[in-house]
Structure 1
Amino acid sequence: MLRFFLLVNKQGQTRFSRYYSGMPIQAEERVLMEADIARKCLKRSDVQCSIFEYGQYKLAYRRYASLFFVIGFDEEENHLSILELVQAYVEILNTYFDNVCELDIMFNIEKVHVILEEMVSNGRIVETNKHNVLAPVLEMNKASR
């Protein structure tokens, strides 16, 4: 089961976070945990594995341009499927934003949340098809015009 999903920039600032059930962590603890996770991901070299243990969780991360996409999950999840989820999420964001960047995420945080919610529900991966994930977001865009 997924426990959290983070987007962190190269300066270690969290730009997006989503926590799933079973995460009874106070806001102050989350900030400290996110900062520690960001430091650990930033320190890792390109030749190190992008899956490692962090306390009671496993972490999988991928770096795309200036952003780190980090997922915390438990032992029952397939490690490679988590990396594929990150890849699918980035591809969908790239399609929607036409080459997503950090500013797209900061200024459209609600869309970033909606796209992730279409892909992951209650910590479980439910959809990875680009067209199925983007359909509700595109409908929201039509309705808001």
Structure 2
Amino acid sequence: MIHFVMLISRQGKVRLTKWYSPYNSKEKTRTTREVSAMVLARQQKQCNFLEWHDLKVIYKRYASLYFIACVDPDDNELIVLETIHHFVEVLDRYFGNVCELDLIFNFHKAYHILDELMMAGELQEPSKKTILRVTAAQDALMEGNGDSKAVPELKYEI
């Protein structure tokens, strides 16, 4: 299970955090500070897996952003790295080569995509097409133009 997902810049600025385990605000602040300091202090050629307290921190750097996930010690690191990469690919397709500014100015869309991708710390939707289709439908609803044809039809399979 993923306990939290965090996106930070190379300067240590937090761009997105999503907590799937209960942490109070003090713990969140301390955790963010500790984990970001650990990740930023690492050399580029070092392993992307860290042990932190009784958990594992897995991170990947894309351009100027670090995508960080904290998981249980018995979780598969490669699957978590693949999940991070999947999230980045969806962001890339949505924003067209995502950058830090896209996340700063459209953080609500990044959170929506993350919520479509993961639920309660587990991968919910592996299909990029489905995530992008639902996000496009959400965008059309947010525009509020009242045209029902502008909203793509959502098909849910059971």
C-alpha distance in 2, partners of 1:70/1:128? Answer: 19
TM-score (normalised: structure 1): 0.93
3-state SS, counterpart of residue 113 of structure 2 = helix
Percent pairwise identity: 34
**Equivalent position of 1:117 in the other structure:** 115
3-state SS, counterpart of residue 24 of structure 1 = coil
Letter matched to residue 82 of structure 1: V
**Residue pairs, 1:3-82, within 5 angstroms:** 3-20=3-20, 23-82=21-80
Pick from 100, 103, 119 the counterpart of residue 102 of structure 1. 100
- Following superposition, the deviation at residue 62 of structure 1 comes to 0.3
- Decide whether the 8 Å contact of 1:8 with 1:67 is kept in 2: yes
**Equivalent position of 2:126 in the other structure:** 128
Larger Rg: 2
C-alpha distance in 1, partners of 2:22/2:107? Answer: 23
Segments of structure 2 that go 5 or more residues without pairing to the other structure are 144-158
TM-score (normalised: structure 2): 0.86
Higher relative contact order (CA 8 A, sep 6+): 1
3-state SS, counterpart of residue 18 of structure 1 = strand
- Decide whether the 8 Å contact of 1:13 with 1:35 is kept in 2: no
- Following superposition, the deviation at residue 122 of structure 1 comes to 0.8
Aligned residues: 143
- Following superposition, the deviation at residue 106 of structure 1 comes to 1.3
- Decide whether the 8 Å contact of 2:54 with 2:73 is kept in 1: no
